[in-house]
Amino acid sequence: MDETKKKEQASTHKIGIYLWIWGLLFVLSFFSYMVDWYQFQGMLRWSLILFFMFLKAGLIMAFFMHLFWERYALVNVLLWPMTAIACFIFLMVAEFEYTLFTRIFYFAVGG
Amino acid sequence: MSEEFNDNKTIHAQSSETISGGGSSAAPDIDYVRPAEVEEQDLYHGHSFITKWVFCQDAKVIGVQYFLLATFTGIVGLILSWLMRLQLGFPGAAGFMTAEHYYQFVTMHGMIMVVYFLTALFLGGFGNYLIPLMVGARDMVFPYLNMVSFWMFFIAVGVLMASFFVPGGPTGAGWTLYPPQTILEGTPGSGAGILLMCLSLILFVAGFTMGGLNYLITILQARTRGMTLMRMPLTVWGIFTATVLAMLAFPALLVGALMMSLDKVLGTSFFMPTILKAGEVLEYGGGSPILFQHLFWFFGHPEVYIVALPAFGIVSDLISVHSRKNIFGYRMMVWAIVGIGALSFFVWAHHMYVSGMNPWFGFFFATTTLIIAVPTAMKVYNWILTLWRGNIRMNTVMLWCLGFIVTFVNGGITGIFLGNVSVDVPLSDTYFVIAHFHMVMGIAPLMVIMGAVYHWFPLVSGRFLDEKLGKWHFWTTFLGAYSIYFPMHYLGFIGVPRRYFEMYDSPYMTSAVGMNEFISLAAFLVGAAQFILIYNIIKTLKTGKRAGSNPWKACSLEWLTPSVPPEHGNWGDRLPVVHRWCYDYSVPGAKEDFITQTTPPSEVQNTGVEKT
Amino acid sequence: MSDPKIEGLELKPGFRGMAQDTGSDQTMFKGVHWGKAMMWIFLLSDTFIFSCFLISYMKGRGSTPVEWPNPSEVFALNAFGVPVPLLLIAIMTFVLITSSGTMALAVKYGYEKNRKMCGWLVLATALGGLTFVGMQAFEWSKLIHEGVRPWENPFGAPQFGSFFFMITGFHGTHVTFGVIFLFIYAYKVFAGHYDEGKRGWFTTMKGDYVEIEILGLYWHFVDLVWVFIFAFFYLW
């Protein structure tokens, strides 16, 4: 690989995109802070928290970590293993509900 | 300092060249291979003894270091199993043995064999030695990190062995380290022992991550020209997938070990429920012991395949070479390896059917467990179909491979028993389980290791291991291992529980006494037979028959280095260029019964060679 | 960072490109430096570590019959005599996102071989990280002062303290290591190691500005984890 090709590859993005994402992250963090400030409760609170969380995480990964510009081979290698995590999460939700049920059933109700 | 580096002398010559050297010839060049994408690696060449053999950055030396250290821990594990069998077969024969000692030996035997022996040997040993050679790289992509990886493993083993000498001895909680009893008083080694175990595991995971990153990225990003993923030997596929599993499964172990240490040191209650001890409530409370089991088995089940997949890969290559046939269904084999790897993250709680988890999980995990048997069975059929009408060389390597297939089928079938909830419940925690997993992930991978040692020893040392000793070694091990584990299935059926120090004279156990003695005698014999290999290696290094280059007439790259054994940098002046897969054996019309991966198509025109 | 140019290979976009890359020889991630690929895989493994932590936290919090403390009150800070919920956490988030932004720009200027700008931005990132660690130390000491311990706390379930100290501690360790490396790399940028291709002290590998991108990936990952910790631990 000679010098000119290296330069070509290193062509970077305009500074504007980074500033935009930077600003968006501040705004989204502010919004998620407001969720607590106004003391939303219940499903509204949780869905808002998760919405802002995934949006922020997505922006950081896509633009700051350049995943948006990477080829699909890398993107897919990174994202598919998350299905194992998702499975783990869903099963552990079922598990903690069951543990809580048995605890209340045997300790509070007395079996 | 500058003479220590290659400084990329050969790059320009290489990237603009095509293989036949005739870019000018008019016909479309069938030997054309795309030029190199990246610069050649510049390597650090050690000059002193220390940089060449101790803190060495050469993956081959690191592989041998891993191999030797893992073998050392394996021998410790073997001696522990002897002591256990001595107690079980002849209670009281070892005078010093108390129940506490027995539990400690059980625990250390399990942990050593699974993590510090098999994992380190397959991935650290064979992985380091074979990956760069088989994919045509000069070394791992990050040799310095690779070196650190080995020395982390060294420290981890040191910490583990140190736990034998601390007050209270090593932990005796069983290799699964289930809380709460692991860290409660009354369990042997609940003080320093368990802490050193957790520390050692954390160090192992850290060290392994460094090595694992190297294996993965070397395979993905540093293959030689022409080496596509679907031309790689199955050995590399097996090690690759196992490393992926390790990178994603070890985190759960790390987290579990860390939380356990905090429970012990700081008195947190991650895993500790409210506990009444002698009428008093302990400080702990509110934690969830079953969480540890989930974390442990989220690591533990992929760990089974971390041990099994490299064995699958290696045995495929050995069978193919020594029956002079291409591997049957190569692509199916690759997809089976990948599929088993992916599925292994969704089956973990089949180890926990009797744990008191959410009872509905049984449906999910029994189903996924039975699904994972499908690709596994496909692999077994393909090995047999590879042998079918092959030109089988009945040498030691082939014997180990056949031994593996038989043993693995045995262990696999009992696995299907245990994967079903209703069958597992009465059988769990009996010797049936012991027999099952020793067959499937103890003896079977061990047979592959032995076969691999006999196969690749001529590459590492340049000399053949002695065949006669090898056959003695094989038959003692094979028949002996069956004498140990076949009767154990029966012991399990009559209900003998595992992890019991002594059966005493409960009436329904008396029928097992003679069998236990027999098993113990067989275990002593099989253990002793392993020293035949060590004797064989020492003898061969001095007086063995010289092998020369490519003694097995194999096609894959590791046999095609300019010097045998390969030197640092592996390939001399220029990297090999690959034109085909590594299984072109007995091609109709070809001059010889093998066509190496580097043979260009123009040399094998008018033969029945497949396009790969 | 449009698609790399590779001699003898026309790169296709999208999923067809993925099939092509996977089926081709030499490299699977076309045009990606091996060190960058390695960092990505490491981060994937690290993601599993943090996921296991957070899943354990979910399991622990979900199955305890004792009431969980209200984070909005526990982490409140008095400003001008009024308790403001999560004030410190909000500032910490602000600081970390700021440092993430400077890092992203440092990577950009690194690729443009703008030594001065790159160096100053890496240094700014390091200082941001240092501020974050300092504020976390303040937060920890405040909570410890209020009687929160890993094994107990005055607000409710004892697991609250356990998980809090463990998870933020593990994240803080990541930040601390990041800060150390940021300072080292800032020095190396200013000293021109990446312009001359000077060899690393231990690794003996030639320096290149790609190392700044690799470090940047790590730093953004730390920020990414904080997004999840912020949501699950402080807001939930």
In this prediction, residue B606 carries a pLDDT of 84
Of A84, A95, A96, the CB nearest to B345: A84
| CB-based contact B311:B122 (threshold 8 Å) | yes
Give every CB contact of residue B422 below 8 A, 6+ residues apart in sequence. none
Q: Are residues A54 and A86 in the same domain?
A: no
Q: Are residues A41 and A91 in the same domain?
A: no
Handedness of CA B318, B320, B321, B326 (dihedral sign): negative
- Please identify which residue in the block is written with the tokens 């008195």: B267
Could you give the CA distance from residue C229 to residue C96 in angstroms, rounded to a whole number?
13
CB atoms within 10 A of CB B106: 22
Q: Are residues A103 and A66 in the same domain?
A: no
Q: 3-state secondary structure string, B181-194?
A: HHHCCCCCCCCHHH
Residue A95 lies in a domain: yes
Bridge partners, B497 (sequence order)? B430
Residue A75 lies in a domain: no
The total number of structural domains that make up chain A: 2
Q: Does the pLDDT of residue B2 top 80, yes or no?
A: no
Q: B57 to chain C: nearest residue by CA?
A: C203
Band of pLDDT at residue C220, cut at 50, 70 and 90: very high
Q: Which of B16, B147, B210, B268 to mutate to test the interface with C (most CBs of C within 10 A)?
A: B268
Tell me the helix, strand and coil percentages in chain C, rounded to 5: 70, 5, 25
Chain A residues at the B interface, defined by Cβ less than 8 Å, are 1, 81, 84, 87-88, 91-92, 94-99, 102
In this prediction, residue B16 carries a pLDDT of 37
Q: Are residues C140 and C70 in the same domain?
A: yes
Q: Which domain holds residue A44?
A: 3-70
Band of pLDDT at residue C86, cut at 50, 70 and 90: confident
Mean pLDDT for B232-250 is 96
The alpha carbon of residue B104 is apart from the nearest alpha carbon of chain C, in Å, by 28
C72 and A39 within 8 Å at the Cβ level: the answer is yes
Report chain C's terminal Cα–Cα distance, integer Å. Answer: 37
Q: Among the listed ranges A39-43, B139-143, B169-173, C16-20, which one has the minimum average pLDDT value?
A: A39-43
pLDDT digits (tens, 9 = 90+) for B441-460: 999 999 999 999 999 999 99
Q: Are residues A22 and A61 in the same domain?
A: yes
Mean pLDDT for C85-105 is 92
pLDDT digits (tens, 9 = 90+) for B513-557: 889 999 999 999 999 999 999 999 999 999 989 998 999 999 999
A50 and C231 within 8 Å at the Cβ level: the answer is yes
Of C29, C162, C205, the CB nearest to B268: C162
In this prediction, residue B28 carries a pLDDT of 59
Q: Are residues A41 and A87 in the same domain?
A: no
| CB-based contact B235:B63 (threshold 8 Å) | no
Of B37, B288, B361, the CB nearest to A99: B288
Q: Are residues C2 and C64 in the same domain?
A: no
Q: Among the listed ranges B26-30, B77-81, B387-391, which one has the minimum average pLDDT value?
A: B26-30
pLDDT digits (tens, 9 = 90+) for B405-455: 999 999 999 999 999 999 999 999 999 999 999 999 999 999 999 999 999
Q: Are residues C85 and C157 in the same domain?
A: yes
Could you give the CA distance from residue A109 to residue B174 in angstroms, rounded to a whole number?
34
The total number of structural domains that make up chain C: 2
Q: Are residues C51 and C63 in the same domain?
A: yes
Mean pLDDT for C8-26 is 89
Q: Are residues C27 and C67 in the same domain?
A: no
In this prediction, residue B417 carries a pLDDT of 93
Give every CB contact of residue C210 below 8 A, 6+ residues apart in sequence. C33, C35, C36
Q: Does the pLDDT of residue B487 top 50, yes or no?
A: yes
In this prediction, residue A12 carries a pLDDT of 67
Mean pLDDT for B579-594 is 92
Could you give the CA distance from residue B181 to residue B173 in angstroms, rounded to a whole number?
7
Tell me the three state secondary structure of residue A37: helix
pLDDT digits (tens, 9 = 90+) for A37-80: 888 888 999 999 999 999 999 999 999 999 999 999 999 999 99
Tell me the three state secondary structure of residue C2: coil
Q: Are residues C4 and C25 in the same domain?
A: yes
Q: Are residues C78 and C37 in the same domain?
A: yes
Could you give the CA distance from residue A61 to residue B438 in angstroms, rounded to a whole number?
44
Q: Which domain holds residue C75?
A: 33-235
In this prediction, residue B4 carries a pLDDT of 55
In this prediction, residue A40 carries a pLDDT of 86
User: Residue B500: is it exposed, middle or buried by C-beta count within 10 angstroms (0-12/13-18/19+)?
Assistant: middle
Radius of gyration of chain B (CA): 25
Q: Are residues A66 and A13 in the same domain?
A: yes
Query: Rounded to 5 degrees, what are φ and ψ at A80?
Result: -65, -40
Band of pLDDT at residue A109, cut at 50, 70 and 90: confident
Q: Does the pLDDT of residue B6 top 80, yes or no?
A: no
**pLDDT > 70 in chain B, percent:** 95
Q: Are residues A58 and A9 in the same domain?
A: yes
In this prediction, residue B426 carries a pLDDT of 93
Give every CB contact of residue B502 below 8 A, 6+ residues apart in sequence. B87, B88, B91, B99
Whole-number average pLDDT of chain B? 91
CATH of the domain at C103: 1.20.120.80
Contact status of C49 with chain A (Cβ, < 8 Å):
no
Residue A101 lies in a domain: yes
Residue A76 lies in a domain: no
Q: Are residues A92 and A49 in the same domain?
A: no
Could you give the CA distance from residue B609 to residue B30 in angstroms, rounded to a whole number?
14
Q: Are residues A50 and A94 in the same domain?
A: no
B349 and A81 within 8 Å at the Cβ level: the answer is no
Q: Are residues C69 and C128 in the same domain?
A: yes
Q: Are residues C154 and C102 in the same domain?
A: yes
Tell me the three state secondary structure of residue B431: helix
Tell me the three state secondary structure of residue C125: helix
B357 and A98 within 8 Å at the Cβ level: the answer is yes
Q: Which two tokens stand for residue B208?
A: 């392994």
Q: C57 to chain B: nearest residue by CA?
A: B270
ipTM above 0.90, yes or no: yes
Q: Are residues C24 and C84 in the same domain?
A: no
Band of pLDDT at residue B300, cut at 50, 70 and 90: very high
At B492, the amino acid letter reads: G
Domains and CATH numbers, chain B: 52-272+282-604 (1.20.210.10)
Could you give the CA distance from residue B78 to residue B116 in angstroms, rounded to a whole number?
13
